[in-house]
Structures are given as C-alpha cells and as structure tokens.
C-alpha cells in the first residue's frame, strides 16, 4: 500500500493523526463489509420471559432469590457475572475509542455502529440473568455500581496503533469467553444467547484484525512493536471489577478462560492469520520486537503446559474422590 497524499508528510514519522488518515479508506472498506455480513437481532427473543417472576420490593408477591431457582452451573454463574460486568462498562469503552478514532467519517461511523451492537450484549445478558434467576439481583447491581463508578481506562489509550492491536485480540478473547461460558452454563437457552453474542464479537475481531493487517503494511516496525507490547502486557477489560482475580482463577479452572485458551485460541490465531512471525524487511526495532514476541509466546506456551498438567492432576483427584 503506497501513501501519496501530500497531507501525510513522510511516513517515516508516523503520528496517530497520520495513521488515522492513512487508514480511513481501509476502515470504510471494512465497515461496508461488516454491514453486509452483520445481521440485526432482537435481544428480547433470546430471553426466557415465562420463567420470570417478581422479586421482593414493590410487589407483594415478590419471591427472594435463591440459586436453586436456576439451572445455571456455579462456574456458569461466575462467568456470566464477569462477562456482563465487562459489557456494562460500554460507556467508558465508547469514550476511549471515540477519543482515539474520532467521530467523523468512516472512523466515526464505525465507533457508533460498534457501540450500538455491543449495547445489545449487555441488554440481553441482564434480561436473561434476571428472568432466569441465574444470579442474585442485589449483588449484581451492587457489583455494577462499583465497577462502573470506578470507570475504565485502557492500558493502550496512549496510542492508536496499540489500541487497534489490543482490540484485535480482545474481541476474540471476549468471543471465546462467551462461547465457553455458554458451553459450561448447563442451560441450552443461555448457550444459544451467548452463541449469538459471540457471533458479533467475531465480526468485530475480523474488522480490527484486518485493520491491523493494513497497519503492518503501512508502518511495519511501529505495528510490530505495538503488537509485542499488547501481547506481553495483555489484560482483559474486566480486570478492574471487584473480585476479578478470584473470578478469573475460578474461570481458569472451569475451562472458560485460562492460559492455554489464551495462547491457543486467542493469540495464536491472530498472529498466524497475519503471519506476524514471518514478516521480513523490518528495521532494528521491529526485528527486536518480533524476536521478543516469539520468545514471549514460547514462554507462555510453557506456562500453559504447566497449567494443563496441574488442571489434569486436579481433575484426577476429584474423580478419585467421587469414585471413592
């Protein structure tokens, strides 16, 4: 891809403003592709409304919540809360990307479209959880208030390239987390709902992944450094919620999201698709970033193997106790 616009100046000195301008045409192409393949859907159609009944409060017939009222598994309940609280911070996410990408042109259209699509996820998940009585509504609201009151600041808000790299991986991570939550939930209705959400997340990943590919063609060294930084320091957007470390550990053991899944199903697919480790013609800083990325991935795979062994041993102990 060759940049000929006189407004860009020398591509050797890339700024966020120059990159935003240079990628505008790619964003428009990807936006049009996305709008052709994305299908609108109605959140209310995925909620088991007939299972719902009044909670205590204004209604005399209100029934207090009890976890036995829902068929959702314990690990499903934990993961659903984490996933919903993550979706709840959409206002902060919108602020971040609107500030970075702008509100004009194709960038602005994408920002608002993405926000509208993501809004459905929080709507349908909360409606499902309340109608099916899968979680304690009082605790859920307390968590939401605490999490949203603290707000969200991205680790990558300093750089447009870092932000694009991050969401290319994060959207896939969110898709995987939703799908695995559905599989582990014990409720086919929940599984169908989360599969629908995961479809959206995958389309969002494709948008950002293709944008990242274009960035590699424009500024390979800077993009390689951004990918290296993002992969090495990756954190899920829900890391600031109350009790996240404990929830994350339970989700790891429950095989909703752990190091092995992160390595095999999130990082590797994006890196392979973009052939990041095969890119040549890099300058010194780009080559160093590529080497460090390769070393990190090898180390992460080794750590994931240790986790796999511990998880297998834990399963064996639990099976032995059950048999005894």
pLDDT value for 11: 52
* Domain 14-48+66-321 CATH assignment equals 2.60.120.960: no
Is residue 297 predicted with pLDDT exceeding 70? Answer: yes
Give the model confidence (pLDDT) of 49-102 as tens digits: 999 999 998 888 889 999 899 999 999 999 999 999 999 989 889 988 998 898
pTM: 0.91
Average confidence (pLDDT) over 240-258: 90
Residue 177 — very low, low, confident or very high, per pLDDT cuts 50/70/90? very high
Helix H or strand E segment including 171: helix 160-184
Query: Tell me: the pLDDT tens digits for 178-207?
Result: 999 999 999 999 999 999 999 999 999 999
Domain boundaries, the chain: 14-48+66-321
In this structure, are residues 43 and 120 in contact, taking their beta carbons and an 8 Å threshold? yes
In which band, very low, low, confident or very high, does the pLDDT at 3 lie, cut at 50, 70 and 90? very low
Q: Which residue pairs, CB below 8 angstroms and at least 24 apart, start in 269-275?
A: 269/172, 270/168, 270/169, 270/172, 270/205, 270/209, 270/212, 271/227, 271/231, 271/297, 273/209, 274/209, 274/212, 274/213, 274/216
| Measured distance CA(49)–CA(308) in Å, rounded | 39
Q: In this predicted model, what pLDDT tens digit does every residue of 129-176 receive, in sequence order? A: 999 999 999 999 999 999 888 877 888 888 899 999 999 999 999 999
The answer on whether 171 is annotated among ligand-binding residues is yes
How far is Cα 225 from Cα 290, in angstroms, rounded to an integer?
8
Mean pLDDT computed over 230-249: 88
3-state SS assignment for residue 56: strand
Q: What is the average per-residue pLDDT within 258-283? A: 96
Is the pLDDT at 321 greater than 90, yes or no? no
201 is in an annotated binding site: yes
Q: Is 117 annotated as a binding residue?
A: no
Mean pLDDT of the 20-31 span: 95
Residue 4 has pLDDT above 50, yes or no: no
pLDDT of residue 12: 58
pLDDT at 256: 95
Would you say 118 is a known binding-site residue? yes
Distance, CA of 60 to chain centre: 41
Tell whether the model's pLDDT for residue 2 goes beyond 60.
no
CB 297 within 8 A of CB 239: no
- Give which of 209, 196, 81, 99 is closest to 152, Cα–Cα: 99
């Amino acid at each position: 891809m060759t940049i000929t616009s006189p407004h860009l100046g020398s591509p050797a000195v890339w700024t966020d403003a120059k990159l935003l301008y240079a990628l505008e045409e790619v964003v428009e192409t990807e936006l049009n592709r996305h709008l052709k393949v994305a299908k609108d859907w109605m959140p209310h159609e995925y909620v088991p409304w007939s299972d719902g009944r009044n909670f205590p409060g204004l209604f005399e017939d209100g029934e207090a919540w009890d976890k036995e009222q829902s068929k959702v598994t314990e690990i499903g309940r934990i993961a659903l809360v984490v996933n919903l609280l993550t979706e709840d911070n959409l206002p902060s996410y919108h602020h971040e990307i609107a500030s970075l990408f702008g509100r004009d042109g194709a960038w602005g259209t994408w920002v608002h479209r993405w926000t509208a699509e993501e809004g459905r996820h929080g709507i349908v998940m909360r409606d499902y959880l309340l109608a099916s009585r899968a979680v304690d509504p009082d605790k859920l609201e307390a968590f939401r208030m605490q999490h949203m009151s603290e707000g969200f600041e991205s680790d990558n808000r300093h750089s447009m390239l870092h932000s694009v790299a991050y969401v290319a991986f994060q959207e896939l991570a969110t898709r995987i987390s939703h799908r695995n939550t559905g599989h582990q939930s014990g409720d086919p209705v929940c599984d169908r709902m989360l599969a629908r959400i995961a479809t959206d997340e995958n389309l969002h990943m494709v948008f950002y992944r293709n944008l990242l590919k274009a960035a590699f063609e424009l500024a390979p060294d800077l993009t390689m450094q951004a990918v290296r930084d993002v992969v090495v320091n990756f954190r899920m957007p829900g890391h600031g919620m109350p009790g996240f470390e404990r929830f994350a550990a339970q989700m790891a053991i429950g095989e909703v999201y752990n190091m092995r899944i992160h390595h095999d199903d999130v990082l590797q697919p994006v890196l392979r698709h973009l052939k990041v480790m095969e890119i040549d013609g890099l300058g010194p800083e780009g080559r160093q970033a590529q080497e460090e990325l390769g070393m990190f991935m090898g180390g992460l795979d080794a750590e994931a193997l240790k986790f796999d062994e511990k998880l297998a041993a834990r399963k064996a102990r639990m099976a032995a106790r059950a048999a005894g």
